Homo-oligomer: A and B are copies of this chain.
Amino acid sequence: MVMARKQGSHSDITGPRVLDTALRLIAQHGFAAVSMRQIASEVGVQAGALYNYIPDKQSLLFDMMREHMAELLTSLRATDLQGDALRQLEAFTRFHIRFHLPRPDQVFVSYMELRNLSPQNFAVIERMRRDYEDALEAILRQGESEGAFAVADTRVATRAIIAMLTGLSHWYREEGRLDMAAIEAIYWDLVRKSVGA
């Protein structure tokens, strides 16, 4: 029987390092602007070695984005979204900020590199993004039927709120003026008011 190697084997170290390094570089320079040789160089191997961990460059991007979206949806479903619509909306808002703020590179790549996905891969990611949007839309619809919210168009409001929240990741810096708790409070105030609650 062949055991998995525990020492001396770098596979379980190099593998994740490839994805981590690629994520950072692509977030910084863009998918098309980063070469396999750049990624390999920062990992500390030759370009050919990358192909022990990924079939090709396209899969590198797809795997990063799919993992990000899968984590997002899993975390959302694991989050307690109960109570009336107002409480659910607050929970969703705070969840979104808490999930996205510590992951600026993933957010950047997932929103900027959609064009560089193959059509099939794009469809998969788009479906996941739509699932996330639908969770917020359901909350808004419930709020309307409760009479707690007043929005002119639920679908548009859904997208507007997500754009507002996601935009946060484009300028937030950890060392900045506001910590995450302050950010949460400010955005929750904006979101709550925007739906008329």
Which residues 148-194 in A have Cβ within 8 Å of B in the complex? 151-153, 156-157, 159-164, 166-168, 170-171, 178, 182-183, 185-187, 189-191, 193-194
A33-68 vs B, CB cutoff 8 Å, 1 = contact: the mask equals 100000000000000000000000000000000000
Residue of B nearest to A113 (CB): B30
Q: Which residues of B contact A159 (CB under 8 A)?
A: 167-168, 171
* Contact status of A160 and B168, CB under 8 A, knowing A30-B115, A33-B32, A115-B30: yes
Number of interface residues of A (CB under 8 A): 38
CB distance from A35 to the nearest CB of B (A): 10
Q: Which residues of A contact B (CB under 8 A)?
A: 28-33, 112, 115-116, 151-153, 156-157, 159-164, 166-168, 170-171, 178, 182-183, 185-187, 189-191, 193-196
- Give 5 A-B pairs besides A153-B182, A160-B167, A191-B194 with Cβ atoms closer than 8 angstroms: A156-B186, A160-B168, A160-B187, A162-B167, A194-B194
